[in-house]
Structure formats: C-alpha cells, structure tokens
Chain A
Amino acid sequence: MKSSQFTELPGRLVAVEGLDGSGKSTQLYLLKRWLELRGLKVFFTEWNSSVIVKKATSKGKKRHLLTPTTFSLIHAADFADRYERQILPLLKAGYLVLCDRYIYTAFARDAVRGCPRTWLHNLYGFARRPDLTLFFDTPLPVALTRILAGRPQLKYHEAGMDLGLSADLHESFRLFQERIYHEYLAMRDERGFVTIDGSATIEAQQQSVRDLVSGAFDLPSYRWKSMG
C-alpha cells in the first residue's frame, strides 16, 4: 500500500486548498485551460466527486446519519476511490493531475469535527504528497460574502450544522469556516503550502499560479507524444 508513495513518478500532482469562496476553483480551472491549450496531458479531479461513493455520501447526509467518524471515513473512501482509479494511475502515465482540494481539506474539516489528528494523518497515509500545494488565503469576510451572495441556501453539513456551533445557518457557517481557516494556517508551514493572496485580482492570482507551475515543472515534457 505504501510502496508507490515515495517512488518518483513521471506525472506531477498539483493541489489547491482554501476556504469555500476563496477563489481556488476558478484559479484551478484557469490553470487547467492554460495547460490544455498548450497541448499538455492534464487531468482534473475534485473533492467528493467519486461516482461510487456519491450515493452513500448523499444518503448519509440527507438522513443526518453521519457522525464525525463515518463522515470522515466516507470522504476518505471517496478520495481513495479517485486516488486508486485515477490520480495514481494518471501520475504513472505522466499526467499533470490537478486536484481541487486534497487530503488537507479532510485534515482541516475532520479535525474541526473532533477526529483525532494522528488518526486522520494515518487514514490518508496512502496518499502522495503533492508536488505543489497552493493555499488560497482569502480573508474570511471576503470568502463568506462570496459564498453567501452566490448560494444563499447553505446545506446542513456545508454550514457545519452538525457541530452544533449555532442554531443559525449563516452564523454556524461563519464559525465553522473560521475554525477551518485556523486549521489551514496551522498546517501551512509543516505541509509546505505555497500561499496565494486570494484578495488580489483574478488575473494577478492566475499570473502567480502560472509562474509557480512553470517554475516548478518542465512543462514541455508533459505534451502528448502523438502531438509531437
């Protein structure tokens, strides 16, 4: 299980992390477009999107059956499914794999829900460390405004209502996000996150992202062979 974790693979793994509304998905999308337009092998995957696990997740969430432990395990299963079937094989096949949220999302959210940190780190112990982890550091009020303006109807778990922080959906969301933000800050140095200023313009952020990616990787080597 751990055998492939530290061996050098031809592909490269890029992860973006940050609060909901931090702008990370927009930035990762623009990065993906840029890489694709250059004719590179790119694969994009996002948190909580495995087809196999989706049913279980939505069933559990709808009926509020989930405890912090089962919530954590189901998301780990979702990640493992994408990891075993897509992320790892594609890294072996020499792709640039772009992950919208990675294991640090679980570390932050599940720790806030009370799961022991060492247990969480072991749980995701099979996952490779990304070659580049971008942390979109957006001031909390900005992130909150973006989310609340775009999606006034927050979902139960999204707002962290299961934590019982507040009976008010918006207030619960604010308190939950605040705690997650602190988890991210605590991980930032130890996990080698590269911070992007999420309050800069979209264009300026994307320029930093592209500079970082072209500085970190030899991009022309990820071209499709057939495209010469």
Chain B
Amino acid sequence: MKFYGEGLPGVDATHLAGKLIVIEGADGSGRSTQIEILKDYLEGRGHATVDVGLRRSTLVSEELQEAKQGNVLGEITRSLFYATDFADQLENRIIPALRAGFIGLADRYIYTLMARDIVRGADRDWVRSLYGLALVPDLLIYLRVSPSQLVERNFRKNATLDYWEAGMDLGLSRDIFDSFIRYQRLIQKEFTLMQQEYGFNAVNGNRSIRSVAGEITARVEGLLGI
C-alpha cells in the first residue's frame, strides 16, 4: 500500500498484508447499513475485519465532543483536532490491523473531513497536504444520495436533522431544512471535485439496500479476486 503524501514517520506501508475498504457518504446515505452487510459477507467467507470511523480515538475525544457542542474552536483548530483523531486511529488501529492481514472497513475517511473543511473556507492545498499522511485505500465507495432523499431518511430515523450535518454553523440559512439541503449540495460538489483525483467509485445510493449491497459486493469481489 502507499500513502497519499509523505505518510507517517517510521511507518513502512509496503508490507501491509490487509486491505482497506472505505465507504463514504452523508448521514442517511446508508453507510453504516452497508458496512454491516459487507462485514457479514466478508466474515462469512473467513476474512477478519476491523471497523474504523471518525471520532473514535480517545486521544482528543473530549475536545471533539466540546467542539460539537459549541463554537469554542476556530476553524483551523477544529480541523486539526479531527486530523489528530484520524491520525491516531490510522496509526494505532488501521495500520496494525492491516499489518496482521485484516480487512479494514472504514465508515468515512479523510474525504468527509476534507470536504467539511473546504466548504468552511479551508485552503484546498493545505487540507490535501495535511491528509498526505493517510493511506490510499484499496477500494473507495462513495454512496451518492440526493439531498432530498437524505432529508427523508434522516427524518425517518431520528425525526430531526443534525445541526452539523445541516451545516448550521455556516449560516447558510436560519432554517435547518433549507440549510441542510444547501449544505449537502456544497459537500456533494466537493466530492464531485475530488472524485477524479481520488478515484471514487460512485454508487447510486438512492436505490434499495439490497441493490446497493449487490453493487458493493461485486466491487469487493473484484478487489479480493473472489
């Protein structure tokens, strides 16, 4: 495997036996459901898996929790906390598992973090270089779901829209519904811009769970040579 940029000091990525599969998409895109299905599928065939996601490292967990609750942090500071959280998991969870031959299933990866930072005014080159520390995944699935579908699914699941997923901190609109739609469009635009550069496999997530899973499984089979 290799890194996007200069990678991590002291880490040699050339002898990682496992595979890294990333599923990206907004809240309500079906990410978690698809990861569960994929996990069952892989484990059923005797592959060991490890789950990773954003905001799961203990190193800066309290700081990220505080950041979510208020506007105490500046944009750069918040970006760097998320980057710290990511780097900690990459070094202490993903890489050791890949070294041991596991298949890493990442529920979101650097692309969400980059898109969030960029729509909040971060410099593209700055963000790209920052995440040069990340491993290039073996397979990158992007579940693309229309903002109106996302709204419907979020309401069905939680009966509310999340403040951050609606990008309320950006002040796009004081109306959360309106803000959600506009924010998700901005994020999707960033994903479209990143698609070429990072080689996303865009999967139409507006369809049924089963047909999305079928498409993902086919791509994973291609990767593993099943």
Contacts and interface: CB of A to CB of B under 8 A. Distances in A.
B220 interface: no
Contact of B84 (A70, A114, A122): A70
Interface string A81-99: 1011100000000000000
A122 B125 contact: yes
Contacts of A122: 125-126, 129-130
Contacts, number: 105
Given A69-B91, A84-B76, A113-B9, A56 B130 contact: no
B10 A68 contact: yes
Which 3 A-B pairs rank lowest in CB-CB distance, beginning with the nearest? A84-B74, A114-B9, A77-B80
Contacts of B9: 67-69, 113-116
A83 B73 CA distance: 11
A52 interface: yes
Contacts of A77: 60, 63, 77, 80-81, 84
Given A80-B77, A84-B74, 7 more contacts: A56-B63, A60-B59, A67-B10, A68-B9, A73-B87, A80-B74, A119-B132
Contacts of B133: 69, 119
Interface residues of B, number: 35
B178 to A, nearest CB: 26
Interface string B60-79: 10110010000011111101
B6 A118 contact: yes
Nearest to A74: B84
A125 B126 CA distance: 7
B166 interface: no
Contact of B126 (A60, A84, A126): A126
A1 interface: yes
Interface of B is mostly: helix
Nearest to B132: A119
A126 B76 contact: yes
A225 interface: no
B88 interface: yes
A1 B81 contact: no
A1 B126 contact: yes
A82 B125 CA distance: 23
Contacts of B125: 122
A28 B60 CA distance: 32
Interface of B: 5-10, 59-60, 62-63, 66, 72-77, 79-81, 83-84, 87-88, 91-92, 121-123, 125-126, 129-130, 132-133
Nearest to A66: B59
A197 B119 CA distance: 47
9 contacts: A1-B123, A68-B8, A69-B8, A73-B87, A74-B84, A77-B80, A80-B74, A80-B77, A115-B9
Given A2-B123, A77-B80, A114-B10, A70 B91 contact: yes
Contacts of B88: 65, 67, 70
Given A1-B75, A70-B88, A76 B59 contact: no
A55 B63 contact: yes
Contacts of B129: 118-119, 122-123
A146 interface: no
A73 B77 contact: no
B60 A56 contact: yes
Contacts of B74: 80-81, 83-85
Contacts of B8: 67-69
Contact of A52 (B59, B72, B121, B132): B72
